[in-house]
């Protein structure tokens, strides 16, 4: 058996950990520059507010119903996520983190379903009591059915946060009420094909012949079909890694300060490099861009595609290339409104072929990067790096994050002081 631990309304729950006065009140977390809704409390969902809606469109509703909004605080969310994962790792030798708020646990060492359910109930209580984040847990023979079980655990209070699919009757009943567009591994294009073929629920799909699944959705669709029918054939570690990674932002105001633009873009570069290393990948090319507002009569653009002689995920090397582009194409007194970094031609970091004319000391670079990653993992993101961090007051001006909560757990100045 496997268990999928899924945090409930994770970003909102993180904010409520240090704001218990907001429990049972409508809360949303917003994207960059407080643009769109990226997390909603149950109270907000009941008001019919959809995920991704621009905040300005629901501002009248926010004022009417007293919806509290927060700017994204990824330092806080990432730290609480790490604490949750460390807690889970004490109960399994094989923990596969799927996202910032989800992880699969291998419970094959437990042979009794009742014992597995009791363990997950204990885990759920421990996380809620020790960290303050509510979680829902789905238990099933494979990861796709775990996703289905966790959906019911989260949706129906009668499960008390833990739902188990451990019999044929439970599998059929669960899939019969589960929409096909919610099935893990079924994308939008696949959903359209399935709906055109009369498939509306997961049970409709599971009831088809294997040949139907393979002809319509090829091997990945067949694997999903097999899992819906009770087989275990999908590993999180075998899922395809991202073939391109983007980090970009729209600034609250046009940036005319070159140093500030460089600092922001270097942070973007560091983010994509870190994501490459986490998925054990390297990139051959990097696209660097910055441009003025599209509503401006005369637009100016910084853009270049950098090709590395040897594929890399080294932050220093990528940052140096980025700065060369920006400093070559920079125009003084030009208000750049959006900027970003995209890495493409991504490949595994195993067996990288070094260029004959490569002059960099790759082993030294790797040792340095590993040391920096260890320091940042231990003491917090961007504790140390190749470029200075943007000052807090400048960041607030640059990104319009006036509703951002303190970094309660990662910044010494933001630790809560108790008064007796």
Domain residue ranges in the chain? 8-75, 76-237, 245-389
pLDDT band at 238 (very low <50, low <70, confident <90, very high): low
Judge contact between 141 and 232, C-beta under 8 A.
Answer: yes
pLDDT at 158 over 70: yes
The pLDDT assigned to 244 comes to: 84
Judge contact between 164 and 184, C-beta under 8 A.
Answer: no
The pLDDT assigned to 240 comes to: 62
What is the CA 285 to chain-centroid distance, rounded?
23
pLDDT band at 75 (very low <50, low <70, confident <90, very high): confident
Output the CA–CA distances (angstroms, integers) from residue 342 to 249, 266, 291, 305, 389, in the order listed: 12, 12, 15, 9, 21
* CATH architecture, domain 76-237: 2-Layer Sandwich (3.30)
Highest mean pLDDT of the ranges 31-35, 202-206, 361-365: 202-206
pLDDT band at 65 (very low <50, low <70, confident <90, very high): very high
Task: Report the topology of domain 245-389.
Answer: Dna Ligase; domain 1 (3.30.1490)
Residue 348 structure tokens: 């595994």
- Going by CATH, does the domain composed of 8-75 fall within 3.40.1170.60? yes
pTM of the predicted protein model: 0.79
Which residues in 223-368 belong to E strands, given as ranges? 245-255, 281-292, 301-312, 336-348
- Torsion, Cα 282 284 287 288, to 10 degrees, reads 70
In terms of DSSP bridges, do strands 68-71 and 102-106 run parallel, antiparallel, or are they unpaired?
unpaired
pLDDT at 142 over 90: yes
């Amino acid at each position: 058996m496997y268990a999928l631990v899924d945090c409930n309304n994770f970003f909102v729950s993180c904010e409520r950990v240090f704001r218990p006065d907001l429990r049972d009140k409508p809360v949303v977390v917003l994207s960059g520059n407080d643009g769109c809704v990226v997390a909603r409390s149950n109270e907000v969902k009941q008001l019919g507010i959809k995920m991704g809606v621009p905040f300005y469109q629901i501002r009248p509703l926010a004022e009417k119903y007293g919806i509290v909004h927060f700017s994204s605080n990824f330092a806080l969310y990432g730290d609480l996520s790490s604490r949750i994962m460390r807690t889970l790792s004490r109960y399994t030798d094989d923990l596969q983190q799927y996202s910032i708020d989800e992880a699969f646990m291998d419970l094959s060492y437990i042979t009794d379903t009742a014992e597995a359910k009791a363990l997950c109930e204990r885990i759920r209580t421990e996380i809620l009591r020790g960290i303050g984040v509510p979680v829902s847990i789905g238990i099933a023979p494979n990861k796709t059915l775990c996703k289905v079980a966790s959906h019911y655990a989260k949706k129906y209070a009668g499960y008390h946060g833990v739902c188990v699919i451990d019999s044929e009757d439970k599998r059929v009943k669960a899939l019969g009420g589960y929409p096909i567009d919610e099935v893990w591994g079924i994308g939008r294009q696949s959903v359209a094909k399935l709906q055109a073929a009369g498939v509306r629920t997961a049970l409709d799909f599971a009831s088809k012949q294997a040949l139907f699944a393979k002809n319509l959705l090829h091997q990945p669709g067949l694997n999903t079909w097999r899992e819906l029918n009770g087989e275990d054939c999908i590993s999180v570690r075998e899922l395809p890694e991202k073939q391109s990674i983007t980090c970009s932002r729209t600034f609250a105001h046009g940036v005319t300060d070159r140093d500030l633009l460089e600092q922001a873009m270097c942070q973007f570069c560091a983010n994509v490099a870190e994501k490459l290393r986490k998925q054990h990948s390297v990139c051959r090319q990097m696209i660097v861009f910055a441009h003025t507002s599209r509503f401006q009569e005369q637009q100016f653009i910084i853009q270049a595609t950098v090709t590395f002689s040897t594929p890399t995920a080294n932050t220093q090397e990528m940052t140096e290339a980025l700065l060369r582009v920006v400093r070559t194409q920079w125009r003084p007194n030009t208000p750049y409104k959006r900027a970003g970094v995209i890495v493409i031609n991504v490949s595994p970091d195993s067996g990288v072929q070094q260029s004959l004319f490569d002059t960099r000391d790759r082993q030294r670079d790797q040792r340095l990067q590993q040391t920096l990653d260890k320091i940042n993992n231990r003491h917090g993101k961007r504790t140390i790096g190749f470029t200075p961090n943007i000052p807090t007051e400048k960041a607030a001006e640059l990104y319009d994050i006036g509703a951002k909560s303190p970094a309660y757990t990662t910044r010494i100045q933001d630790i809560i002081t108790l008064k007796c």
